[in-house]
Structure 1
Amino acid sequence: MSIENPADDGPDAAHLRPSGVDDATIAALGKLSEALEVVEQARGQLYAFHRLTGRADLSLGDAVEQLRAAGHVELAEGIERELVGRNVIEGRWTFQIVEDYDDGYRAAFRQWEQIARDQLVGGRRHLAEAEMKEQRRTHGARHHEARPREAGTAGAD
């Protein structure tokens, strides 16, 4: 099935390379965007670490109570004293690590990525990906449109 209006078969203005911007700049911004995506993925892993460590501490508390109930009071008290609620890194629980990452490294990374985009391409995002999409999609074919259809124009598949 073809696109109803071929003039609409291209990227929106926010995903077009500004005049005068060369391939090397687009490639560099694409690599910077890729690096930021890895930072975001690492952040997700850090949150997973935070959640898993918290779950482990709560389970550890349950285990201590069960050991105590089973009559292993001295062992339970040792584990409780040394492990329950313990910092995972000197002076920090995992939420503090997440906050430091978010407010420090991630915030600086996002700021510099934004500065680069603002200075070089007027703040436009994902230009390398938009150009890749234009190269890889089948122009004029349904499900290969450059952008979402307008509301109310969806045709039968």
Structure 2
Amino acid sequence: MVESDDTGKLTEREREALHEVELGVEHLHRAHGHLVSFHHSTGRAMDHLAAAEDLLREAGHDELADHLRDEHLPRGVVPPCDGDRATAGRWSYDILEKFQETFLDDVVGFGDRVRDQVADGRRHVTERRQEAEWKRRAQLE
């Protein structure tokens, strides 16, 4: 026997809106993963550049080593928001943290609120409905 998807209380518009919010949150989680990867890749690149500084100096290229030390290693990956080159830019960890602490957390919280208010806290109501329909169809065959 196929169990009910228990989503019949929602209007079609509520179900669609909830699904769009869930998809938005899921894509933000994917974006978060990309930012974590960006942060790790940037850190690894900076480790290689730091090693290159020492090797350049040992090879007698002090000017290049100094340029790397003074211009590239301390520099952030994104310029400061005010565009002032005199201040350090934003590092990858800062971008990741700000994304997590502000936008991601805010939107995830909003998604929780929508789910609580619209669907009594139930997740994936569209998928549950589809699952129930496919199971119902399979039993009719």
Instruction: Determine if the TM-score, normalized by the shorter chain, exceeds 0.5.
Output: yes
Q: 2:63 aligns with which of 74, 77, 80?
A: 74
Indicate the residue corresponding to 2:73 in structure 1. Answer: 84
Task: Map Cα deviations across residues 14-49 of structure 1 (whole Å, 9 max, x no partner).
Answer: x621x5311221111011101111111111111111
Aligned pairs for 1:106-145 (under 5 A) are 106-137=104-135, 139=138
- RMSD over aligned CA atoms reads 1.8
For the residues of structure 2 that align with 1:50 and 1:136, how far apart are their CA atoms? 42
Identity in percent: 29
On the 8 A contact 1:36/1:113 being kept in 2, the answer is yes
1:57 and 2:32 are equivalent in the alignment? no
**Which one scores higher on RCO, CA 8 angstroms, separation ≥ 6?**
1
Is contact 1:33–1:113 with CA below 8 Å preserved after alignment?
Answer: yes
Segments of structure 1 that go 5 or more residues without pairing to the other structure are 1-5, 141-157
Deviation, structure 1 residue 131: 1.2
Structure 1 residue ranges (4+ consecutive) displaced by more than 4 angstroms after TM superposition: none
Match of 1:40 in 2: 29
| Residue in 1 that maps onto 2:84 | none
Cα distance, 1:79 vs structure 2: 1.2
Q: Which structure dedicates a bigger proportion of its chain to helix?
A: 2
Mapped to 2, the partners of 1:133 and 1:65 lie a distance apart of 60
TM-score when normalising by structure 1: 0.75
| Offset of residue 134 of structure 1 | 2.5
